[in-house]
Amino acid sequence: MAAAIAVVVTAYGPTVTDAIALTRVLRTRHPSVPVLVYYDPRHTNPRHLLALFQAGAAEILQTGDDDLRRVFASVLASAGHRVKSRRLLEQLEPLVPPQAKPILQYLIEKGDTPLSIEQAAAAVGIARRTLEKRLAALGYPPPETLIGWCRLLIAAQMLEDQGRSFDEVALELEFPSGMALRSMLKRYTGVSGRTARGGRGPVALVLRHLTAKLRTPQAAAAVRRSRVSDTRDLPS
């Protein structure tokens, strides 16, 4: 399961109850692996679909779709991206105080698409100005720069595949061009595209520089305060 991108669970008629239970077990034991449920609408009560989502299903697909191969490919690609994003977030999480985790999680998970500051702020339920103040208080880069870092991190992840060119990655992530992606990499890390693909690889390079941006005195103090608070809340 450690190497799995996703797990597909079938839910037909009398097996739906088993599928719900299996989905719950999979999500508990392997929280980083999304569960895709494949069901037959002719033999599945709508209440079961709600139960499947509550059990932790990431996506629910129905039989009879004329373009099922495309749907599965799209869903699996999306699921794979979420898993990889979660792994990246896990590496940054120890540095990030609670007040910044939701926005960082959102930006990394949505790093495969262009975002505006307003979209990012709305996604975590705050106003743009509040987001700007919150990041500034932690000594973090402004929202537009943090969005860029997270976009670059996802691009670096894709560039780990030596068979993918900068032009291909730029097209998939909706950068203006491969040259624009190379220029961004150089601007943010000081390293050329060719050099970035050597050594420890693009992800390690971008993570190292992004970590330096997030390891601020203000953020470290907020993390310490959070840990002290968590300790106090533990039962004696």
Domain coverage including residue 45: 7-81
My answer on whether 132 and 63 are in the same domain is no
Confirm whether 190 is domain-assigned.
yes
My answer on whether 125 and 194 are in the same domain is yes
Confirm whether 232 is domain-assigned.
no
Place of tokens 């450690």: 2
Q: What is the model's pTM?
A: 0.68
Cβ–Cβ under 8 Å, residues 41 and 64: yes
- Residue 132's region, left for phi above 0, alpha for psi from -120 to 50, else beta, is alpha
pLDDT of 156: 93
CA distance linking residue 157 with residue 151, whole number of Å: 10
My answer on whether 18 and 61 are in the same domain is yes
Instruction: Count CA within 13 A, CB hemisphere, residue 26.
Output: 26
pLDDT tens, residue order, the chain (236 aa) = 555 667 888 887 777 888 899 988 988 887 767 788 888 777 777 788 888 888 888 778 777 655 556 666 666 666 666 667 777 878 888 889 999 999 998 999 888 889 999 999 999 999 999 999 999 999 999 999 999 999 999 999 889 888 889 999 999 899 999 999 999 999 999 999 999 988 889 999 999 999 999 999 999 999 999 888 766 655 55
Q: In the chain, how many domains are there? A: 2
pLDDT of 136: 97
Helix H, strand E, coil C: the string for the chain is CCCCCCEEEEECHHHHHHHHHHHHHHHHHCCCCCEEEEECHHHCCHHHHHHHHHHCCCEEEECCCCCHHHHHHHHHHHHHHHHHHHHHHHHHHHHCCCCCHHHHHHHHHCCCCCCCHHHHHHHCCCCHHHHHHHHHHCCCCCHHHHHHHHHHHHHHHHHCCCCCCHHHHHHHHCCCCHHHHHHHHHHHHCCCHHHHCCCCCHHHHHHHHHHHHHCCHHHHHHHHHHHHHHHHHCCC
My answer on whether 33 and 109 are in the same domain is no
pLDDT of 151: 94
> Bridge partners of 10?
38
Sheet of 7-11, strand order:
7-11, 35-39, 59-62
CB within 8 Å of 108: residues ≥ 6 apart = 85, 88, 89, 150, 153, 154
**CATH number of 52's domain:** 3.40.50.2300
